[in-house]
Amino acid sequence: MKFLYSDEPIIAVSTCNLAHAAISVLRISGFNNLSDFAPFFEKILSGPIEPRRVYYTRLKDGDHYIDDICLTFFQGPRSYNGENILELTTHGNTLNVERIIDLFTKKAGLRLAQPGEFTYRALKNQKLTLSQVEGLDLFLNANSGYALDQGLSLLSGSLHEMYREIYELFIKHKAALELSIDFSDDIGDDAAQEQFNLTLSALMKKFETLKKRVEVQGQNLIEPEIVIAGLPNAGKSSLFNALLSDDRAIVSPIAGTTRDYLSESILIEGVKYKLFDTAGVREASDLIEAEGVRRTAQRLKTSFFSILLVNPFEMQPEFSQLITQKFDLILFTHSDLPRFSFKKDELLKQYPNLGPMGAVSFKLEADLEMLLSGINKKYLDAISEKPILLDRHKGLILQINLNLYKYNLLSKSERDIAILSSELNLLGHCISELVGIVSPDQVLGSIFSNFCIGK
Ligand SMILES: Nc1nc2c(ncn2[C@@H]2O[C@H](COP(=O)(O)OP(=O)(O)OP(=O)(O)O)[C@@H](O)[C@H]2O)c(=O)[nH]1
Ligand SMILES: [Mg+2]
């Protein structure tokens, strides 16, 4: 976060850096005089450049013709971040883009922007609140349609509106409390009390709908993880490869082939998950394997969807310990082998709990669809209540809930206005943080660390 206090003019590529992209957008921000750039553009720009109009021109380095470009000028404060911004649409070849950046940094006194620096300036110039910045981050890094929608909703849509409404209701209530302290003689105790009650119940009612959206589930839906676990030789890596349609993990009949977890992205019904193949759980023969087994347990704890694979032909004593964890699905592998039913029944007698937990025999090719639709169903169920995705927001909403509850109780019994005011201030602090009006430095660092250069 070196850039926090800098306002030098900066430049960066704002489109993704694809080697063969047709076009690329470069942004220059924070300069004072547009005319400083005149030597870089050809004569058609001899007239004044009107803001928000696109101009086609030729970029040059002295007499050297560099590229045909389009440029648009956004005059601060009416721009994305409140500063003067010049957007250049150039041809996308990365070499070309690097040459243009080089030209402006070496000959126009611009500095290469750091990740998130454009948006940080938008926050600093109050063009965006902190919550909107987080919404933008969610939108840009979304792993599903739901996350895209929520990112947008935070950026400028209904969720942003709801936060603002809660903030405004809070301000109205604060005013009602002050009215009852300072002006009850003028308007009368009853009228002041009525104002107090009305504004508080409006705030609580509005907040109730928001609160429901953090109570629905505890899993990480921003980057949901699917974890395949089981004893060695259960067929975990085989399933992992089959789901990815790729020979990504080594499969072998030697127990303990996978010694640490592997992960890959997988797209299921428009949602990007992280799929994990883990080390088989058993009494480890060395330190590395022991670490692998410990990591399996860790992955299971944070998983969105966990699958236990059971090969009834290869049991180990550690199985009893493994099944104390909660799995979304238990699958029997090796169902193509003779004596499978016999082995499975034998196992179910020993572990009767496996049956009711939904264990099914599994034929790799045939049942992948069933497995994928089970995962998708869980995701759809999880988002049906429109959960809030961002942890900072979830934490603040729960904190506001607690403060509001305490404040409401106090307001019914406490006659000491000083105590009531101080409780209301605590509540106000949390609500301001949720709306993003207060921007504590510690949250800024973690939010902006996610941003790419050029945003
Ligand atoms: N017949 C049969 N063989 C299977 C099935 N699933 C996996 N295998 C075989 O079982 C052996 C072990 O499979 P893996 O996928 O490597 O098992 P794993 O659970 O990853 O094992 P570790 O990495 O050692 O923990 C390999 O030889 C696979 O080809 C199945 O459903 N039927
Ligand atoms: Mg394996």
pLDDT tens string 315-360 = 888 888 888 888 888 888 888 889 988 998 888 888 877 764 455 5
- Residue 41 pLDDT > 60: yes
How far away, in angstroms, is 223 Cα from ligand 2 center? 23
* Residue 126 three-state SS: coil
Whole-angstrom distance, CA of residue 154 vs CA of residue 160? 5
How far away, in angstroms, is 141 Cα from ligand 1 center? 35
- Residue 16 pLDDT > 90: no
Closest ligand to C-alpha of residue 255 is: 1
How far away, in angstroms, is 363 Cα from ligand 2 center? 17
**237 ligand 1 Cβ < 6 A:** yes
Which token pair is 392?
């900072």
Mean pLDDT value of segment 388-408? 93
Question: What is the pLDDT at residue 352?
Answer: 77
Q: How many CA atoms lie within 13 A of 90 on its CB side?
A: 28
Mean pLDDT value of segment 62-69? 94
Q: Provide the residue ranges of all domains of the chain, joining segments of one domain with +.
A: 2-127, 132-202+395-436, 225-383
Which token pair is 353?
């709990």
Question: What is the pLDDT at residue 453?
Answer: 63
Residues at Cβ < 5 Å from ligand 2 ion:
236-237, 257-258
How far away, in angstroms, is 353 Cα from ligand 2 center? 25
Helix (H) or strand (E) holding 274: strand 271-277
What is the average pLDDT score of the chain? 86
**238 ligand 1 Cβ < 6 A:** yes
Question: What is the pLDDT at residue 451?
Answer: 67
Question: What is the pLDDT at residue 444?
Answer: 60
Question: Which of 141-145, 210-214, 412-416, 425-429 is least confident?
Answer: 412-416
Mean pLDDT value of segment 98-119? 93
Question: What is the pLDDT at residue 135?
Answer: 93
Q: Indicate which residue's Cα is closest to atom 4 of ligand 1.
A: 334
| Closest of 320, 328, 338 to residue 360, by C-alpha | 328
**256 ligand 1 Cβ < 6 A:** yes
Question: What is the pLDDT at residue 357?
Answer: 47
**232 ligand 1 Cβ < 6 A:** yes
Query: What is the CATH topology of the domain spanning 225-383?
Result: Rossmann fold (3.40.50)
Question: What is the pLDDT at residue 430?
Answer: 92
Number of Cβ atoms within 10 Å of the Cβ of 82: 20
**280 ligand 1 Cβ < 6 A:** yes
How does 32-48 read in b/e, with b if 16+ C-beta sit within 10 Å?
eebeebeebbeeebeee
How far away, in angstroms, is 212 Cα from ligand 2 center? 41
How far away, in angstroms, is 75 Cα from ligand 2 center? 58
**292 ligand 1 Cβ < 6 A:** no
Give domain 2-127's CATH superfamily. Probable tRNA modification gtpase trme; domain 1 (3.30.1360.120)
**79 ligand 1 Cβ < 6 A:** no
Q: What is the DSSP letter of 113?
A: P
Question: Which of 52-61, 82-91, 369-378 is least confident?
Answer: 369-378
Question: What is the pLDDT at residue 53?
Answer: 94
- Residue 96 pLDDT > 70: yes
**334 ligand 1 Cβ < 6 A:** yes
- Residue 150 pLDDT > 80: yes
- Residue 400 pLDDT > 90: yes
More confident residue, 72 or 440: 72
Mean pLDDT value of segment 82-109? 95
Mean pLDDT value of segment 252-281? 89
Tell me: the pLDDT tens digits for 267-299?
Answer: 999 999 999 999 888 776 677 777 777 888 888
More confident residue, 370 or 305: 305
- Residue 151 pLDDT > 80: yes
Mean pLDDT value of segment 235-256? 87
How far away, in angstroms, is 311 Cα from ligand 1 center? 8
**361 ligand 1 Cβ < 6 A:** no
Burial class (CB within 10 angstroms; exposed 0-12, middle 13-18, buried 19+) of 450: middle
How far away, in angstroms, is 248 Cα from ligand 1 center? 14
Q: Indicate which residue's Cα is closest to atom 24 of ligand 1.
A: 256
**44 ligand 1 Cβ < 6 A:** no
